[in-house]
Amino acid sequence: MLALPLAAGCGKDDAKNIVIGPDDADGRDVGDMGTAGDSGGDDDATTLPDGGPLPDMGPLPDMGPVAETVTTTSGPVVGAETNGILSFKGIPYAAPPTGPLRFRPPQPPAAWTTPRDASAFGSPCPQRNVTTGSDFGEEDCLFLNVWAPAGAQGRPVMFFIHGGAFVQGQGSNALYFGNHLAERDVVVVTINYRLGPLGFLAAEELAAETADDTAGNYGLRDQIQALEWVRDNIGAFGGDPANVTIFGESAGGVSVCAHLGSPLSEGLFARGIIQSGAGCGNYPQFRTGTLTNDPAVMVGAQYVSEVGCSSSPDVAQCLRDLPALDTVAAAWDLPSTGLGLPPFGVHIDGAVLPDNPVARVRDGSARDVPIITGSNADEATVFTTTIPVATVAAYEALVRGTFGTTIGNQILQVYPAADFARPKDAYNALFSDVGFICPALRFAGFAADGAEPAYTYHFTHTITGPGAALGAFHGLELFFVFGTFESAPNYSPNDNDRTVRDDMMAEWTSFATDGTVSWPAHDRLAPSIRIFDVPSSTANEIREGRCADLVSIGVVP
């Protein structure tokens, strides 16, 4: 993916109180979407079958959730049962990555014998609230959460990896609560993993401590550790460790791609769903730079200098002595990515990730598993709200400035401003296609060449009210996949929203159950793309065929 120039962080345009992204708990808004919907209860049950009134027995006692104890390999945990769904929150899947364990692969948690209260979420990992500019979280953050149907045995497992550009997010975000999916007879797991420099710092001084001469990708190793925990423990919660589907959105989708290409993840999952994962490409190399990416160690050296450790006689120890929130603050002082965020994330290190997942899928060296991959029709709108593109001249200058004059002119032939209502709409369409939609479609074609099926989708549904101004924006589909409209308390879903929600939840859980969906598998020569909207449909082409043009120009590899 070629990063287009963006404003620092995500912002709102002229529409007021609108949804702009899924990460409310880490400082990005889920937005003000109207008024809260009803609970779906039966308000008419006020008479006996013979028509007489119910006797007045006074208020019923508040029974509260029922405690439930499950024994894991580390010790017993006490969760709760509510409305037939068990929930266990804040279970440690690894030791706190503090002190000497900072910047090292995760280790197993210490065992316990006294039942551990699992009724509250664990701390999020250190990160910045981009709305307030304040840093929060604790380094002891490697927790996961489980939702399961009561009495379940051998049920499919859905393992979710949150987004946030590898510098934000947490598995305890209300948007990701798994109770509604669990009502559809699956077990749901959400996780925290290390973020920013604590999760992905690639410094030569850290590599020198290791046997494989590499550093970084600690957050990706955390995800693998959590998958190993699922393998060893999920059976006690009613899940089938041999039937795990990993799914993630944005950076979580990129993570799913990485697991497809990582030998350390083999055998830990049966299939994957990649939501807005940018086509699984453009991972930086550990030590080798490319035209579009500096080597990860260059970013690491800049960071070491920024925190004042470059002159230390023991750089690694100096890095470990930094207060956790100071490590976050320093990250935001580095030159940002095209998304206006610190330049940390998954990179090709030769150990966790030996090569670009796209390359491994193309040459057949990646594990061949069924996948779903796709994106939203208006991915770019949440990122470009503060970029002025008021005139045709401004739009054309922006495209040429990004891609160079020669390629820029070719792109402008494919995306002329005259084809769109506004120059800004042309820019949003180009950004969405180059950054998300076309790479995902391209990756689906490569994956479809394997023995296992690949499915692709395009989410075009929009919400009502002010949020409609952003279209089918980045992250919007999460409300529908998890069915968690209540996580946006000021939005009341309408019948169309509920239809799309039921459709997506049915498809995702069917895929997690046995790998099947209701639309045909993708083929590069005969594409089949599920369109999530009302009504739903299947198409053989999207974006008016512009993706093929971007491939021919060389912008989408």
- Catalytic residue IDs: 250, 379, 474
Give Cβ neighbours of residue 42 (< 8 Å, ≥ 6 apart): none
CB 112 within 8 A of CB 75: yes
Query: Rounded to an integer, what distance in angstroms lies between the CA atom of residue 429 and that of residue 411?
Result: 12
Q: How far is CA 212 from the centre of its chain?
A: 29
Query: Rounded to an integer, what distance in angstroms lies between the CA atom of residue 404 and that of residue 401?
Result: 6
CA distances from 351 to 65, 113, 132, 262, 416 (A): 45, 35, 37, 8, 44
Residue 236 neighbours by CB distance under 10 Å: 15
Query: Rounded to an integer, what distance in angstroms lies between the CA atom of residue 421 and that of residue 4?
Result: 21
CB 205 within 8 A of CB 114: no
For residue 376, give the H/E element and its range: strand 371-376
Using CA of residue 542, residue 546, residue 551, residue 557, what is the dihedral sign?
negative
DSSP calls for 128-197? E-TTT--EE--S---EEEEEEETT--SEEEEEEE--STTTS--TT-GGG--HHHHTTS-EEEEE----HH
Q: SS3 letters for 518-543?
A: CCCCCCCCCCCEEEECCCCEEECCCH
Q: Which residue has the tokens 């030998």?
A: 263
Q: Name residue 120's amino acid.
A: A
**At residue 114, what are phi and psi to the nearest 5 degrees?**
-70, 130
Extended strands (E) in 54-138 = 66-71, 76-82, 85-92, 116-117, 127-128, 135-136
Give Cβ neighbours of residue 106 (< 8 Å, ≥ 6 apart): 93, 94, 95, 97, 142, 218, 221, 222, 225
CA distances from 278 to 21, 26, 63, 71, 378 (A): 16, 22, 46, 39, 13
Residue 266 tokens, joined: 């083999």
Find the Cα–Cα–Cα–Cα dihedral 19, 22, 23, 28, rounded to 10°.
-20
Rg (CA), the chain: 24
Percentages of the chain per state (helix, strand, coil), in multiples of 5: 35, 15, 50
Q: Where are the alpha helices (DSSP H) in 196-274?
A: 196-200, 204-207, 218-233, 251-261
The residue among 435, 167, 200, 165 whose CA lies nearest residue 296 is: 200
Query: Rounded to an integer, what distance in angstroms lies between the CA atom of residue 476 and that of residue 465?
Result: 14
For 333, which DSSP code?
T
Query: Rounded to an integer, what distance in angstroms lies between the CA atom of residue 310 and that of residue 314?
Result: 9
